[in-house]
Structure 1
Amino acid sequence: MNRRLQRGVIIVPNALTLANLFFGVWAIVSASRGQFITAAWLVVIASVADLLDGRVARVTRTGSRFGAELDSLVDAISFGVAPSLIVYHLFLADGTWSWIASFFYVTSAVIRLARFNIEQAGQAKVAFHGLPSPAAGTTLATFYPFSQTEFFQTYLSGWPWPVLMTALMVILGMLMMSHVLYPVMPKFGFRTARGIATLVGLVLVAAAALTIPALFFFPACLAYVSYGVLKAFALGFFERLPDRDMLLDTDVPDEADEEQRDLDYEELAPPRRLWRPYGPRRRKPDARPERRNVVEGSE
């Protein structure tokens, strides 16, 4: 691979991350203008770009610490700020303190992304610790297109959606900060029957997302969110908590002070050097000449 082609490959993951940022900012602008359907689909497109940038980086082996940090900052905008503003302009703009729900959601997304960088970034993931921010953001953003469908208008329009969406925003924020395990995208291929079945399922999901997006995304995202919660309670939530949280200090101040008082300082003294890396020390010659008991001129 020549140098020019290699540089182009390195740029691709970060270009997808910046595309994620572009669509996220566009969604914020659209929501502020009252174009909620446009804003919703822009968040969905941003989630696709977020999915692709990580996979391209892994396939091409061009991942970097810079790319990971950039991805987290962009996700905080596209899946934290943008969805919360959509819900705010839809349901919370008239309240005096209702914006605090949006603030809580954005704060949860930022904390979740920061913890992801510490715990799971750069590692092979079997499951996500906490609800991924793209899933939470897509859940909030796609509600409005779903609310415009005939099914919603016929069967669900009488529900208290302002209260429900505010509660959903808070619940999603709590799930992002939790240790509830959520599945990653399954592996697919043609080598095994399981891989083929997974590929067929992904094709069907993609077909539904493209043909009936308004009816598909919000219920599908709710199903994903509910799956992690139900599985956590079914298998025992507290038994699956990690031994310690990477965000917390491992030492308690009081215990550390007690250990310091009980230390045996003789044990802390450095051991005496029993050998020298540069060989034995050479004796310096004496500056004064040795006296000899010989008389000059005698034999």
Structure 2
Amino acid sequence: MTDKPRGRRTVNLQILPSAMTVLSICAGLTSIRFALLHQPVPAMALIVAAAILDGLDGRVARMLDAQSRMGAEIDSLADAVNFGVTPALVLYVSMLSRWPIGWVVVLLYAVCVVLRLARYNALADDGTQPAHAHEFFVGMPAPAGAVSMIGLMGLKLQFGEGWWTSVWFLCIWVTGTSMLMVSGIPMKKMHAVRVPPNYATAVLLVLVVFAAAAVLQPFITIWVIIIAYLCHVPFAVRNKRWLDRHPEVWGDQPKQQRAVRRANRRAQPRGRSMTRLGLRKPSGRLR
């Protein structure tokens, strides 16, 4: 009599992405609890943790081939809670509860997050989008909006009271963030960015410096992220417009696209330089 080999138990990891999404919801709701207890630092940290989990659950789902309609719906609802309701309530409790207009602007922010997510879901099901549309967000993504909101709390914690804690600055900043989220401005998706191999070492060094700065000066680091993200917007708009005008490169890799752009610049160096300087071509007649 021979013993049959015992089969190894297989662990079903298909539920892992949804578990990460649910965990992010718990982080977002717990952030509100800490804000109500007047503990802004843990509240901010949990919003950042929810943003990190939001960025990871989609990647994990693709790696495990565990993408599903239900998972997508849970992720969208989690974004509405973590990056719409939670930052609005945390900022209101921490900085805006003294003024009636504070409730108005946080309501505006939360509604704009929901509208932004609804548009994102609608565009995801739109089969008429160009091939390069998946490389760009339409408007500011919800996690970036949440980081922009908690950045206001970081200024207060780092520098104390000042013009950056005045009701007018807070309202203008929150309203501007809300408008950016529902705008049509293209913004590059981070996972669509490709780093050339010869820059890999430099990128790793930057990440090391960033990690150290996040530990030593977390509030300043948040604003470095915010400013860097806003500075990338003109380049994203320029890149999107160039791709719209060159459908022949939509199927190419980023390296090939950059080669085409360099070739186009070399083909018209004189015209571009003169146009930028506002000069005219000489008429050819001498006086």
| Global fold match (TM > 0.5) | yes
Percent identity reads 31
Structure 2 match to 1:192 = 197
| CA-CA distance at 1:89 after TM superposition | 1.8
1:173–1:159 distance in 2 versus 1, CA, 3 Å: closer
**Is residue 177 of structure 2 the alignment partner of residue 172 of structure 1?**
yes
Report the structure number with the largest CA radius of gyration: 1
| CA-CA distance at 1:102 after TM superposition | 0.8
Q: Select the structure that is richer in helix.
A: 2
Unaligned runs of 5+ in 1: 243-299
Matches within 5 A, 1:20-169: 20-120=24-124, 125-149=134-158, 152-153=159-160, 157-159=162-164, 161-169=166-174
Describe the superposition over 1:92-138 as per-residue Cα deviations: whole angstroms up to 9, x where unpaired.
21233431111110011011111111213799831211101011101
1:159–1:74 distance in 2 versus 1, CA, 3 Å: closer
Unaligned runs of 5+ in 2: 1-6, 245-287
**Is residue 212 of structure 2 the alignment partner of residue 207 of structure 1?**
yes
Classify the secondary structure of the residue corresponding to 2:100.
coil
Query: Does the 8 Å CA contact 1:188/1:199 hold for their aligned counterparts?
Result: no
Aligned residue identity for 1:29: R
Aligned-partner Cα distance in 2 for 1:28–1:101 = 18
| CA root-mean-square deviation | 3.1
| CA-CA distance at 1:182 after TM superposition | 1.6
> TM-score, length-normalised on structure 2?
0.70
Query: Does the 8 Å CA contact 1:20/1:78 hold for their aligned counterparts?
Result: yes
Aligned-partner Cα distance in 2 for 1:146–1:166 = 15
Describe the superposition over 1:228-281 as per-residue Cα deviations: whole angstroms up to 9, x where unpaired.
2x4477x499x68x9xxxxxxxxxxxxxxxxxxxxxxxxxxxxxxxxxxxxxxx
Query: Does the 8 Å CA contact 2:156/2:165 hold for their aligned counterparts?
Result: no
Describe the superposition over 1:117-170 as per-residue Cα deviations: whole angstroms up to 9, x where unpaired.
121379983121110101110121243234222xx24xx834453221211111
Aligned residue identity for 1:129: V
1:158–1:116 distance in 2 versus 1, CA, 3 Å: closer
Residues 116-125 or 71-80, more deviating: 116-125
Aligned residues: 232
**Is residue 223 of structure 2 the alignment partner of residue 223 of structure 1?**
no
